[in-house]
Structure formats: structure tokens, C-alpha cells
Amino acid sequence: MNNRILYFLLLFTCPAFALANPPGYVVQGTLRGKGGGMIYMMEYKGKGNYLYIDSARIEGGKFVMKGSVPYPRNIIVCLNHETPKFGFWLENSVISIEGHFDSLHRARVSGSATQLEYEATRRFLAPYEQNCRTIAQAMNEKKKHGDAIAARQLEHALDSCWADKAAATIQYIKQHPNSYPAASLIKGISYALTWQQLEDVVNSLSPAIRATDEIAAYRERISILRKTDKGNKAPDFTQNNPDGKPVRFYDLLAGKKLVLLDFWASWCGPCRRENPNLVSVYREFHDKGFDIIGVSLDKTKDAWVKAIAEDKLPWTHVSNLQYWNNPIVELYGVSAVPANVLIGADGTILARNLKGDALRKTVQELLKQ
């Protein structure tokens, strides 16, 4: 067999190999209007941290970035270190970005097959998200006008809406095991999943996607959630209260029948909306052996202390004022707030993420035992 014949055999019998090993990405952009400077591509790694990917100088409204990625990445773009404007899926192909300096968030992206997959996921989830937004707006209106009964009914409806969205998301991920954008949807629901549910979703993905850094992080979360699941011993910790004095969790637990470990922050809207319910449950059951310890993800003491005073939260509070970089958050596998863990007198974890009527009923039933 001569070299020419071998060449054509390889060319036509191994197209998958050729497609799987592209030379890299070329991102070429055109921005209209007045502007210039630098454009940056970054990847959000969670907890307020960004990973720098690439950058380019904008000249005459045009820029080019070249490089390679090991697999498709969800990229955030910003101009001159300003607030990130929009995102797209970067892959090893020729990608075009066309937009305007004044409305970069509306830029059009073409040339990325993974971006098309992402847009399909958005179309799939849009009806669920719109339904939840409509219910949330109606709930807020009822609260604004003091209609507590109607607001509570809508709150239950909103919980059901988010649950429906999570179930649909899980189904979508399982139906698209080779899709990086589909796998990225895990982030939006992982906080509400048990370790068994999260493990089931992760195991439904293809081997290539399971090998990514993002999925490795979920495997670590699964391990933490298993250790802090119902029936396990709650990890002990010590952290400072607003006066700068250390508080040991198991010292606070001593003499109590139930303690709710509540993760929250002054900047967290849903946390602040749930606080009145926590105050109500605390007042009703505190004399019967129930207590709360609040773990704040605040960045400044002033904001933290102000929120405690405004919401009239009479229980013990701790924080290291390092946002998401709080060891207690990592210890309990918390990835979103509000979140809580209900713990018994002997340190056994009894439940996680109870709120509203579910929290009150659970506390009431357990205190009767």
C-alpha cells in the first residue's frame, strides 16, 4: 500500500479522530459604537471567584483571541474589568461575536455547536422559569399589601414550581448525557438535591463529562452530604460572634433538645423573607428546648449586625465575615442560602433545609417525643 492510498484511508475512516482533536479556538469579535480597551474571557468558579482564560485588545471595534480548551467551557465576557456583560460556551472552533459596546449583553454568538446546545436548554427551561417568576411576583404583591394568608399559599405554590423545574431539569440532563450545557444545569439544582439524587444525576452523564473538573466538585459535595445526612453526627465547630468571642457549637447544644443551624446573610433576600418564620418558631418553642445558631456569609460586620437588629433575631450568631469562604459552610456542604440543619440533643442530624410550616411541624413533633 503506497502512502497516497494510506492517506486517503486514514482521512475517510477516522473522521471522529479528526473532529475530536481540533487545533483550538479562534474567537473573533466585532463591536459597534464608541469604546475600546481590553476584553476578557473568564470562567466563574463559584464563591465569587473567577478564572482568567484569555484577553485581547480591541482595535477599531475588532478583537481576536486564540487558544485551546480541553473541553467546552461556560465563559463570561467583560470589558475593561467592568461587571461581566454576557456569557457563551467556548469550544475549539472558530467563534464569532457581534454586538455593540453599549449593549454587549445582547451580542450574538455563532460558530459554537455547544452554544447551540445551551440555547436549547434555555428554551426548554424558559416556561418553568416564567411560571415561577409569575408566582413570585404575585406572592410579593400579596406580602406588600399585608395579605399573609394569600402570600403563604403562593409561597407553597412557588416551592412546588421550583420542585417541578428541578424534576424537569434532572430529566433533561439524563436525556442529554453527552451535553456539557445540560450537565451545567446541575449547578442550579444541586443545592436542593440529596446526595443520593445528586449521585444519580452525576452517574447518568457520559464518561467524558464525568471527567471534568466541575463534576469532580460535585463528587466532593456528594461525599460531604453523605457525612452530614440525616442520622449522622453533626460536625463540631468554633467561630466568633459579633462581639469577637468564640462560640463552640457543641457547647451551645448542651442542655438543648433541638438546635437549628441556620445559614444566611444580610444580602440574601430569601433568607430575610424566611427570618420572620424563624423568629416565630423560636419564640414558640425556645422555652421547650429549641434554639437556633445563625451562621452568616456576610462580608462586613456592619451589614451583619444591622440585619440581625432589623430582623430582630434573638439567637446566637457567628461568622468569619469571609463570604462563601467559611469553613462551616464547607463542613456542612452548603452551596446556597438560605439553608439549615436540624440537630438533636446528642448531636445527631435530624433534617436538612426545612422552612415555613414544615419547620414548625417538625420541631413540634420532635419536641413531643
Structural domain total, the chain: 3
- Domain with 321 in it: 238-368
CATH code where residue 293 lies: 3.40.30.10
Q: Are 48 and 19 in contact (CB under 8 A)?
A: no
Assigned domain for 9 exists: no
50 — pLDDT class (breaks 50, 70, 90)? confident
pLDDT per residue over 111-143, tens digit each? 999 999 999 999 999 999 999 999 999 998 998
Q: Which of 174, 206, 227 is the last residue of a domain?
A: 227
67, 86, 66: which is closest to 76 by C-alpha? 86
Residue 238 has pLDDT above 70, yes or no: yes
Assigned domain for 8 exists: no
Mean pLDDT on 334-356: 93
Q: Are 206 and 282 in contact (CB under 8 A)?
A: no
| Residue bearing cell 433534617 | 351
| Domain match, 262 and 309 both | yes
Q: Which of 227, 249, 267 is the last residue of a domain?
A: 227
Q: Which residues of 204-238 are buried (b: 16+ CB within 10 A; e: fewer)?
A: bbeeebbebebbebbeebbebbebbeeeeebbebe
| Domain match, 27 and 97 both | yes
| Domain match, 53 and 158 both | no
- Quick one: cell of 17? 479522530
| Domain match, 333 and 247 both | yes
Amino acid at 1: M
Output the pLDDT for position 191: 81
Q: Mean of the per-residue pLDDT values for the chain? A: 90
3-state helix, strand, coil in the chain (%, to 5): 50, 25, 25
Residue 213 has pLDDT above 90, yes or no: no
Q: Are 149 and 126 in contact (CB under 8 A)?
A: no
Q: Which of 86, 111, 136 is the last residue of a domain?
A: 111
Residue 2 has pLDDT above 70, yes or no: no
Output the pLDDT for position 359: 95
Output the pLDDT for position 21: 44
Rounded distance, CA 194 to CA 220, Å? 13
Assigned domain for 4 exists: no
Query: CB 107: neighbour CB atoms within 10 A?
Result: 18
| Domain match, 33 and 58 both | yes
Three-class DSSP category at 268? coil
Q: Are 65 and 111 in contact (CB under 8 A)?
A: no
Residue 320, C-beta contacts closer than 8 angstroms, at least 6 positions apart: 239, 240, 326, 327
| Domain match, 252 and 357 both | yes
| Domain match, 176 and 223 both | yes
The pTM of this model reads 0.76
pLDDT per residue over 160-195, tens digit each? 999 999 999 999 999 999 999 999 999 889 888 889
Cα diameter, the chain: 90
| Domain match, 187 and 251 both | no
Assigned domain for 6 exists: no
Rounded distance, CA 131 to CA 129, Å? 5
Assigned domain for 15 exists: no
- Quick one: cell of 32? 459597534
Output the pLDDT for position 7: 32
| Domain match, 81 and 153 both | no
Phi, psi of 23 (to 5 degrees): -70, -25
Q: Are 145 and 155 in contact (CB under 8 A)?
A: no
Residue 145 has pLDDT above 50, yes or no: yes
Assigned domain for 174 exists: yes
Output the pLDDT for position 17: 34
| Domain match, 103 and 126 both | no
| Domain match, 260 and 309 both | yes
Assigned domain for 144 exists: yes
CATH code where residue 51 lies: 2.60.40
Assigned domain for 13 exists: no
| Domain match, 94 and 128 both | no
- Quick one: cell of 122? 434555555
pLDDT per residue over 152-161, tens digit each? 899 889 989 9
